[in-house]
Amino acid sequence: MLREVTATRYIAPLRSGGSVPAVVEADDLGTYVVKFTGSAQGRKALVAEVIVGELARALGLRFPELVFVEFDPAVADEEPHQEVRDLHGASAGRNLGMDFLPGARDFTPEAAKTFPVDPLEAGRIVWLDALTVNVDRTVHSSNLMIWPTFGTVPPRLWLIDHGAALVFHHRWDASDPAKSYDFRHHALGHYGPDVRAADAELAPKVTEELLRGIVAEVPDAWLTDFATPDEAREAYVTYLHARVRASAEWLPTDFPSREELAAEQARRAARTERERPDWLKRVPDLHGKPAAEQDWSVHLT
């Protein structure tokens, strides 16, 4: 069961993503990253966070504890930005919090060059993402953290941010449980992920019983696609269990090397440069490089 806490102190908003979550302290003295029900992504993003996050934990992957956070907008009265205050005002009541990892750093392409990842661990993470259709863990935005980064405990990879997963719940009527997706640009693709071993290990664990227990954690108020919350829960269980059984159809196995990724990115950048209007090529680079020398491909994918 997800614990329930109450936000007692507003620390800061996080502007790295469109949902503008916030770091808060709660009445259990814990610190959490809170995603709000009033965000532009809507409550389905929170449904995905609960289902995928709890499934990751159940399968033994490292994912911070999730809690329900009772949030009173008055706690953040000193927030200076009106758009953030509006978000808080639209999110009074129950929201979703994730345990804050102090000192954690992003798993960036630069960090990935020196950080060792076991092929089986990479395979487990890729497998979970393929199962839950999480296409938002790429070389450009890994949604992975390295933690801890201090003391004698070896740093490990931690999964975060699954709000963009479960893309099927945006179009239930067009969802094929056996559909495959392009995971060639997965953040761990160049570690040689052993997805076949991960499939053999993890698929038998994703039972209907496990899925029902996880989906039961989602609040009724966040399940609005069907006539009743129980019907919505059954739809998630049915789809995900069918997808597990069809893993042979969607299991990603074709991952380019670092060199192939770099070459592809260079080709994309060159194509973008050729297609860019002449007037845009003359726009100065405010970050220190001439516009023609920048790699804009990461902004165009």
User: What gap in Å lies between CA 295 and CA 301, rounded to an integer?
Assistant: 12
| Cα four-point dihedral sign 259, 264, 270, 273 | negative
Bond before 148 cis per omega within 30 degrees: yes
Q: Is residue 32 part of a domain?
A: yes
pLDDT digits (tens, 9 = 90+) for 150-163: 888 899 999 999 99
Q: Is residue 162 part of a domain?
A: no
Region at 6 (left for phi over 0; alpha for psi -120 to 50; beta for the rest): beta
pLDDT digits (tens, 9 = 90+) for 151-208: 888 999 999 999 999 999 999 988 899 999 999 999 999 999 999 999 999 999 999 9
Average pLDDT in the 267-273 region? 79
Domain count, the chain: 1
Q: Are 143 and 137 in contact (CB under 8 A)?
A: yes
Q: Is residue 132 part of a domain?
A: no
Q: Is residue 36 part of a domain?
A: yes
Q: CA angle at residue 130 from 42 to 232, to 5 degrees?
A: 45
Q: Read off the pTM.
A: 0.88
Q: Which domain holds residue 77?
A: 3-99
Q: Which amino acid would we find at residue 88?
A: H
Confidence class for position 269, pLDDT limits 50, 70, 90: confident
User: What gap in Å lies between CA 297 and CA 179, rounded to an integer?
Assistant: 27
Q: Are 59 and 121 in contact (CB under 8 A)?
A: no
Structure tokens at 19: 């949902």
Q: Is residue 173 part of a domain?
A: no
**Rg (Cα) of the chain, in Å, rounded?**
21
Q: Is residue 77 part of a domain?
A: yes
For the cut 80, the answer to whether the pLDDT of residue 257 exceeds it is no
Confidence class for position 71, pLDDT limits 50, 70, 90: very high
User: What gap in Å lies between CA 169 and CA 117, rounded to an integer?
Assistant: 31
Q: Is residue 27 part of a domain?
A: yes
Q: Is residue 85 part of a domain?
A: yes
User: What gap in Å lies between CA 12 and CA 5, rounded to an integer?
Assistant: 18
User: What gap in Å lies between CA 179 and CA 140, rounded to an integer?
Assistant: 24
User: What gap in Å lies between CA 42 and CA 12, rounded to an integer?
Assistant: 21
Structure tokens at 151: 């003391």
Structure tokens at 261: 């990724």
In order, the DSSP letters of 242-267 are HHHHTHHHH-------HHHHHHHHHH
pLDDT at residue 261 in the model: 74
Alpha-helical runs (H) found in the chain = 43-58, 82-89, 109-112, 119-131, 195-202, 208-215, 229-245, 247-250, 258-275, 278-281
Average pLDDT in the 235-253 region? 97
Average pLDDT in the 205-224 region? 98
Which H, E and C letters describe 263-288, residue by residue? HHHHHHHHHHHHHCCHHHHCCCCCCC
In order, the DSSP letters of 83-105 are HHHHHHHTT-EEEEEEE--TT-E
pLDDT digits (tens, 9 = 90+) for 101-111: 999 999 998 99
